[in-house]
């Protein structure tokens, strides 16, 4: 979209006051470009699972999910590697030296498995396996609570090769940028759904090993950071230990809201309205941060994390990153940036400026 001069002028004035940086959630070049036109100062969340649904990819993803062994899984992943490398290369190019945070795969696994017998049949033919055997395998992958299931870093603890492929794709894309002399901010590799420092310690070591391998192969060096989402109460409560292994934190306030309030984002529509109208909750906690609950965990996470690493970079990439009242809260909590959907970037820039001005007023 084209922005006229008045809009630009107002935004520039607002930018003089704000302390919070404003990034965007984007996983396609189109969204990244839109957000950049609106003034996004980087990508705060690139959700890689969205990249796996394309018609040319879902077959390989399914092969990977149902593979019986590491070798078959790696075969399927090898087909995805060049596409992932290009995904990241395109995003790095558009962002032109601005930071890009790439979250490693965090799918509800059930979204990837074949949904119908027809799809299962097709897959059985393609990989030359028995239909009934495959059907029972697909059934066995069913989860009763996928949001609390085998997702995020848990997937990589059981199948390390998935994240290793993604880290390789990021590193190879970074090498391409360097080889072409293009501007590149240190890629930020983000591990999702961490609940314990040990998970991050293991996955960080694996990621570092793969980056080093690529750097030696290509004989190219580049800076990179490895960090984590803070989206489970346990992660916020143990943020001091987690920070030992993290270069940055990003609060996933959607999941943090679900898990703190024990509310499903997908199923709470039927009763949340009554809760708000009767004053039990001040507002829909998925729209505006629940300051005394989820917010308390955010403050704790910031506090504990920076106790270990005073310079820890901290952002937020949940829906709340584009909500003005929540942005004021994040400003006060001492975050470095908010990340929101592309079309909310201008609102976030204004809200961040407003938050700075309000805080100054209180202190003057």
Which residues lie near ligand PYR (CB under 6 A)? 45, 231, 252-255, 317-318
Q: How far is CA 65 from CA 72, 120, 150, 312, in A?
A: 10, 13, 12, 35
Q: What angle, rounded to 10 degrees, do the helices at 197-218 and 160-179 form?
A: 40
Q: Minimum Å distance from CB 173 to ligand PYR?
A: 22
Q: Minimum Å distance from CB 317 to ligand PYR?
A: 5
Pairing of strands 43-47, 225-230: unpaired
Spatial CB neighbours of 27, under 8 Å, sequence gap ≥ 6: 46, 47, 48, 50, 51, 87, 91
Element (H, E) at 250: strand 248-251
Judged by beta carbon, residue 338 or residue 350, the one nearer ligand PYR is 338
Judged by beta carbon, residue 199 or residue 231, the one nearer ligand PYR is 231
CA-closest candidate to residue 186, choices 245, 313, 249, 100:
100
Q: CA geometry: angle at 163 spanning 73 and 309, to 5°?
A: 160
How many other CB atoms are found less than 10 A from the CB of residue 302?
21
Q: Minimum Å distance from CB 344 to ligand PYR?
A: 14
Residue listed under structure tokens 């940036």: 337
Q: Minimum Å distance from CB 21 to ligand PYR?
A: 17
Judged by beta carbon, residue 99 or residue 114, the one nearer ligand PYR is 99
How many other CB atoms are found less than 10 A from the CB of residue 262?
7
Per DSSP, what are the bridge partners of residue 102? 46, 189
Q: Minimum Å distance from CB 109 to ligand PYR?
A: 16
Per DSSP, what are the bridge partners of residue 250? 229, 315
Residue listed under structure tokens 């090498």: 175
Judged by beta carbon, residue 196 or residue 359, the one nearer ligand PYR is 196
Q: Minimum Å distance from CB 269 to ligand PYR?
A: 18
Judged by beta carbon, residue 196 or residue 215, the one nearer ligand PYR is 196
Judged by beta carbon, residue 121 or residue 299, the one nearer ligand PYR is 299
Q: Minimum Å distance from CB 326 to ligand PYR?
A: 12
Q: Minimum Å distance from CB 255 to ligand PYR?
A: 3
Which residue stretches of the chain are H helix? 5-15, 29-37, 58-66, 70-95, 117-126, 131-140, 153-158, 160-179, 197-218, 233-237, 239-243, 253-261, 269-277, 294-308, 324-333, 345-363
CA distance 7 to 131: 59
Q: Minimum Å distance from CB 30 to ligand PYR?
A: 20
Pairing of strands 188-191, 100-103: parallel
Judged by beta carbon, residue 73 or residue 344, the one nearer ligand PYR is 344
**Could you please report the per-residue DSSP string of 62-73?**
HHHHH-SSHHHH
Judged by beta carbon, residue 39 or residue 44, the one nearer ligand PYR is 44
Judged by beta carbon, residue 114 or residue 322, the one nearer ligand PYR is 322
């Amino acid at each position: 979209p084209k922005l006229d001069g008045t809009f630009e002028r107002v935004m520039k004035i607002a930018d003089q006051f704000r302390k919070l940086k404003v990034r965007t959630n984007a996983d396609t070049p189109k969204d990244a470009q839109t957000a950049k036109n609106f003034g996004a100062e980087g990508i705060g969340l690139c959700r890689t699972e969205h990249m796996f649904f394309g018609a040319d990819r879902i077959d390989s993803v399914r092969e990977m999910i149902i593979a019986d062994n590491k070798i078959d899984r790696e075969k399927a992943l090898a087909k995805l590697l060049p596409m992932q490398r290009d995904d990241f290369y395109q995003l790095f190019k558009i962002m032109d030296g601005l930071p890009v945070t790439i979250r490693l795969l965090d799918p509800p696994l059930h979204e990837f498995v074949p949904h119908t017998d027809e799809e299962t049949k097709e897959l059985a033919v393609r990989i030359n396996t028995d239909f009934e055997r495959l059907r029972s395998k697909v059934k066995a992958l069913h989860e009763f609570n996928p949001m609390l299931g085998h997702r995020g870093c848990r997937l990589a603890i059981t199948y390390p090769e998935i994240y290793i492929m993604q880290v390789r794709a990021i590193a190879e894309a970074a090498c391409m940028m360097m080889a072409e002399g293009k501007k590149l901010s240190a890629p930020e590799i983000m591990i999702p759904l961490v609940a314990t420092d040990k998970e991050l310690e293991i996955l960080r070591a694996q990621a570092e090993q793969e980056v080093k391998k690529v750097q030696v192969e290509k004989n190219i060096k580049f800076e990179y950071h490895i960090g984590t989402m803070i989206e489970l109460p346990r992660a916020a409560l143990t943020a001091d230990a987690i920070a030992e292994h993290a270069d940055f934190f990003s609060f996933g306030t959607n999941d943090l809201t679900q898990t703190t309030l024990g509310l499903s984002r997908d199923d709470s529509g039927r009763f949340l309205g009554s809760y708000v109208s009767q004053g039990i909750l001040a507002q829909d906690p998925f729209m505006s941060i629940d300051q005394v609950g989820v917010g308390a965990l955010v403050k704790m996470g910031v506090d504990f994390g920076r106790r270990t690493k005073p310079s820890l970079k901290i952002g937020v990439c949940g829906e709340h990153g584009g909500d003005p009242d929540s942005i004021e809260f994040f400003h006060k909590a001492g975050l470095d940036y908010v990340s929101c959907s592309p079309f909310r970037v201008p609102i976030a820039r204004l809200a961040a400026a407003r938050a700075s001005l309000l805080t100054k007023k209180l202190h003057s």
